Amino acid sequence: MPELKMPANLPDPIINENAKIVLQRRYQRKDTEGVVYETVKEMFWRVASAIAQEEGKYKESSVKPAALAREFYDLMTSYRFLPNSPTLMNAGTDIGQLAACFVLPVADDIEGIFDAVKHAAMIHKSGGGTGFSFSRLRAKDSVVGSTGGVASGPLSFLRIFNCATEQIKQGGTRRGANMGILRVDHPDIMEFIKAKERDGELNNFNLSIGLTEQFMQAVNDRAEYDLVAPNTGKTVGTLNAREVFNILVQKAWESGDPGIVFLDRINRDNPTPSLGEIESTNPCGEQPLLPYEACNLGSINLGKCFAKGKNGKDSEIDWDELKRIIHLSVRFLDNVIDASVYPLDQITEMVGKNRKIGLGVMGWADLLYQLKVPYNSQTAVDLAERVMKYVQAEARSASKQLAKERGEFPTYAESTFGKANLGPYRNATTTTIAPTGTLSIIAGCSSGVEPLFALSFVRNVMDNDKLVETNPFFEAALKEADAYSGKLMEEIAKVGSIRKMDHLPEHLRHVFVTSMDIEPIWHLKMQAAFQKFTDNAVSKTVNLPNSATKEDIWDIYWKAYEYGCKGVTVYRDGSKTSQVLCTGDGD
């Protein structure tokens, strides 16, 4: 479809310095020589136009594509909402693949394994990330029927996937991201838990152990549990659950890997169990999907939903504005499904059946700063529930509205929604909380539902660029308190936090907390609060100081289970040589 004509009065977007670098490197279109020929304004219009034009297909829609394109443009350029990176990169281009999240099956035969490698390569080329479960592969040293030889096991194949990813840089700069999952009852589980113990090993993979209710029960009971050969279904051994959990914790303490996902819990929330079991998530864990399923995500910047109270004093959330953004964003994301060209027929078919979208939030810490509520407080946790409950309810209401206009998702009748007579809905899932690694840079907001890593810090992006950032709400508050000075900012950039700066007013030190100031329990409580009202999952890293102990991590992994999270990832400061975020001078 040719692009809609750009309105003459379209305002230029305001772009922060860091966003300029990121957009130019990865998002604005380039010619064959690598020279950028698209302005940021043209980029946002390309996306707005391509997504709005899908509207034209629906006769029942009262919305006109040209007017909608303008609304989408304003929505994005005011940084109230941004779709996931592949949509920004590819909408309205020849690539046309717009989803960030994919899960591919890995079958227990050579053909199936290499099909998955090939399919992953195709997805990575378009900017998407892939998740795989390796649980169906027979264990190392089991017999291979056709040759009489022995199998090399999931780990050996995982290395091939990793190597293939290394060779395919996405769009020239974005390297592929993968999730690898192995069930805890797979015979090779111990090798898998230790797979990333050497720094740099399997660098293109996040690894998570798929934990079951049965296993967690066995940890609790200090009992043994069975290891089951996936190819025969036979029990081939037992392990002590607590010992396995201990080693898992040890490895996560050493390097952050592996994380954990609770498979039974994920499947309890599988809206379409008749289509199969969910065995993996996308790379950052927030999007559980069926084999061959894809999902596009988008995030609302909550920092923009702050309103000064009517008397100019009592701050609050602008609920009406939030509602408007949610409804427009759901329409956007549903259109993205139609606009997207998927790299495989199986994926097109699967996405067409469930029409999953993942609307989430970013800028949560920014909103709390504006409301003057400390992240590590029960008030913040309660507010998180209230906000996400609202987002989920309004997103579903928007999806219902779309179902009226365009029909329900094709598997609705057999879905858990259909069986409970809850719909009809246009989408099998509507909410997901993504990490918003790049989106938050573009929007200039705090990422996802994370606390700020530091109030002022140096950000390493895309391998070698270093960007200095100070949180604007912090800066404003310092100025308001007459405490701002260049010298102070330098001091803060070195350590990130103001917790120990006794000379600063107590009310600032109370509200402007960073991830390192926050007890791990608050990270988890916050994750659980958002999870309670999120259809899919919540991307969250429990950031820990270098001094955190193995017991701390044990406690976090266990509490994530108790609190109803779908998984959890920890990161102990300094436990990897290359960190995305760091304080100090960035070296």
| Residues identified as active-site | 282, 284, 286
Shortest distance, position 293 Cβ to ligand ADP, whole Å:
12
Nearer to ligand ADP, 286 or 366 (CB): 286
Stretch that binds ligand ADP, among 173-181, 349-357, 395-403, 477-485 (CB under 6 A): 173-181
Shortest distance, position 256 Cβ to ligand ADP, whole Å:
16
Shortest distance, position 294 Cβ to ligand ADP, whole Å:
10
What are the start-end ranges of the H helices in 407-541?
416-419, 439-443, 472-480, 486-495, 506-511, 520-531
The contacts of residue 281 (CB under 8 Å, 6+ apart) are 103, 131, 179, 181, 208, 261, 266, 287, 288, 289, 537, 567
The DSSP secondary structure of 306-358, one letter per residue, reads EE--TTSSS-EE-HHHHHHHHHHHHHHHHHHHHH---SSHHHHHHHHHH--EE
Binding mask 253-282 for ligand ADP (x = CB under 6 A): -----------------------------x
Binding of residue 170 to ligand ADP (CB under 6 A)? yes
Pick one of 19, 43, 50, 100: the residue that binds ligand ADP (CB under 6 A).
100
Pick one of 119, 174, 194, 540: the residue that binds ligand ADP (CB under 6 A).
174
Shortest distance, position 354 Cβ to ligand ADP, whole Å:
17
SS in 3 state form for 377-426? CHHHHHHHHHHHHHHHHHHHHHHHHHHHHHCCCCCHHHCHHHHCCCCCCC
Report residue 360: phi and psi, to 5°. Answer: -140, -165
Binding of residue 358 to ligand ADP (CB under 6 A)? no
Token pair 């009992």: residue: 223
Pick one of 153, 210, 271, 283: the residue that binds ligand ADP (CB under 6 A).
283
Shortest distance, position 128 Cβ to ligand ADP, whole Å:
6
Taking the alpha carbons of 329, 333, 334, 335 in that order, is the dihedral positive or negative?
positive
Strand 205-211 versus strand 259-262 pairing type: parallel
Q: Please, which residues bridge with residue 570 across strands? A: 542
Nearer to ligand ADP, 13 or 83 (CB): 83
Closest Cα to residue 96, out of 53, 39, 35, 41? 53
Q: Which of residues 129-168 bind ligand ADP (CB under 6 A)?
A: 129
Nearer to ligand ADP, 380 or 461 (CB): 461
Binding of residue 85 to ligand ADP (CB under 6 A)? yes
The contacts of residue 435 (CB under 8 Å, 6+ apart) are 284, 286, 447, 448, 450, 539
Shortest distance, position 342 Cβ to ligand ADP, whole Å:
15
Letter for the amino acid at 460? N
Nearer to ligand ADP, 244 or 388 (CB): 388
- How many positions of this chain bind ligand ADP (CB under 6 A)? 22
Q: 3-state DSSP call for residue 213?
A: helix
Shortest distance, position 217 Cβ to ligand ADP, whole Å:
30
Binding of residue 446 to ligand ADP (CB under 6 A)? no
Nearer to ligand ADP, 437 or 472 (CB): 437
Q: Are 232 and 137 in contact (CB under 8 A)?
A: no
Pick one of 128, 374, 423, 567: the residue that binds ligand ADP (CB under 6 A).
128
Q: Which of residues 470-499 bind ligand ADP (CB under 6 A)?
A: none
In whole angstroms, what is the distance from residue 40 CA to residue 265 CA?
A: 42
Nearer to ligand ADP, 27 or 417 (CB): 27
Token pair 């100070």: residue: 470
Nearer to ligand ADP, 511 or 565 (CB): 565
Q: Which of residues 501-540 bind ligand ADP (CB under 6 A)?
A: none
In whole angstroms, what is the distance from residue 365 CA to residue 471 CA?
A: 10
In whole angstroms, what is the distance from residue 340 CA to residue 342 CA?
A: 6
Shortest distance, position 407 Cβ to ligand ADP, whole Å:
28
Nearer to ligand ADP, 437 or 505 (CB): 437
What are 304-310's contacts with CB under 8 Å, separation 24+?
304/78, 304/79, 304/80, 304/363, 304/445, 305/80, 305/367, 306/367, 306/370, 306/371
Q: Which of residues 402-441 bind ligand ADP (CB under 6 A)?
A: 434-439
Binding mask 191-230 for ligand ADP (x = CB under 6 A): ----------------------------------------
Shortest distance, position 84 Cβ to ligand ADP, whole Å:
4
Stretch that binds ligand ADP, among 29-37, 106-114, 175-183, 224-232 (CB under 6 A): 175-183
- The 10 Å Cβ neighbour count of residue 316 is 13
Q: Please give the DSSP secondary-structure letter assigned to residue 3.
A: P
Binding of residue 52 to ligand ADP (CB under 6 A)? no
Nearer to ligand ADP, 176 or 423 (CB): 176
Structure-block tokens of residue 461: 């992006």
In whole angstroms, what is the distance from residue 307 CA to residue 313 CA?
A: 10
Residue, CB closest to ligand ADP: 129
In whole angstroms, what is the distance from residue 244 CA to residue 248 CA?
A: 6
Sites of contact with ligand ADP (CB under 6 A): 84-85, 100-101, 128-129, 170, 174-177, 282-284, 286, 297, 434-439
